[in-house]
Amino acid sequence: MTAAIVAGTLAVAALNAIAATLGGWLWYLGDPNLRGARTFWLLLRVGQGSALTLALAVGSLAAAGNYPRDHLFYLYALLPLAVAFVGEQLRVSSAQTVLDQRGLAGAEAVGRLPEREQRGVVAQIVRREIGVMATSALVVVFLALRAASTAHGF
């Protein structure tokens, strides 16, 4: 049982590490076309889904009466859901931050800009969102590795 839980937490860490690495690279490059952004978002959602699957499995084990010796495991196994939620909230607010920096009231104001400037604003928003979510995925990697290290005793 313990080996399966450790393997699951390591899978969560690996999937989120791939997304965090690609997202960090895309953010670093600052490519205005953001090639690879679709792949990043797909990998990120897969990583988030794996964290949710792990949380459901851990909850099922707890409901069945199987508990780890180290109760910190629950913190490390369930906290990635909270991190993903907070990351999503920060991602949503990042668009408004970019608009505020440029003195734009909203999407309507962006629509009145010349097409080249519109593309620049959108690229900046997407880059910031990728940076926020890549950081979120990196935190999930750390938490999943900690969960794996405390999963003994199931």
- State the pLDDT confidence band at 154, using cuts at 50, 70 and 90: low
Does 75 or 152 have the greater pLDDT score?
75
Mean pLDDT of 93-116: 86
103: left (phi over 0), alpha (psi -120 to 50) or beta: left
Give the C-alpha separation, 123 to 103, whole Å: 17
According to the model, what pLDDT value does residue 141 have? 97
Long-range contacts of 61-70, Cβ-Cβ distance < 8 Å, separation of 24 or more: 61/1, 61/5, 61/154, 66/1, 66/154, 67/153, 67/154, 68/5, 68/150, 68/151, 68/152, 68/153, 68/154, 69/152, 69/153, 70/150, 70/152, 70/153
- State the pLDDT confidence band at 153, using cuts at 50, 70 and 90: low
**The pair of three-digit structure tokens given for residue 86, joined into one six-digit string:** 């907070």
Q: Are 39 and 116 in contact (CB under 8 A)?
A: no
According to the model, what pLDDT value does residue 115 have? 87
**Contact partners, residue 119, CB within 8 Å, separation at least 6:** 32
For helices 2-29 and 115-149, angle between their N-to-C axes, nearest 10 degrees: 150
Please give the mean pLDDT across all residues of the chain: 90
Give the C-alpha separation, 5 to 13, whole Å: 12
pTM: 0.88
Does 10 or 119 have the greater pLDDT score?
10
Does 58 or 34 have the greater pLDDT score?
58
18-45, pLDDT tens digit by residue?
A: 999 999 999 999 875 677 899 999 999 9
Give the C-alpha separation, 105 to 118, whole Å: 14
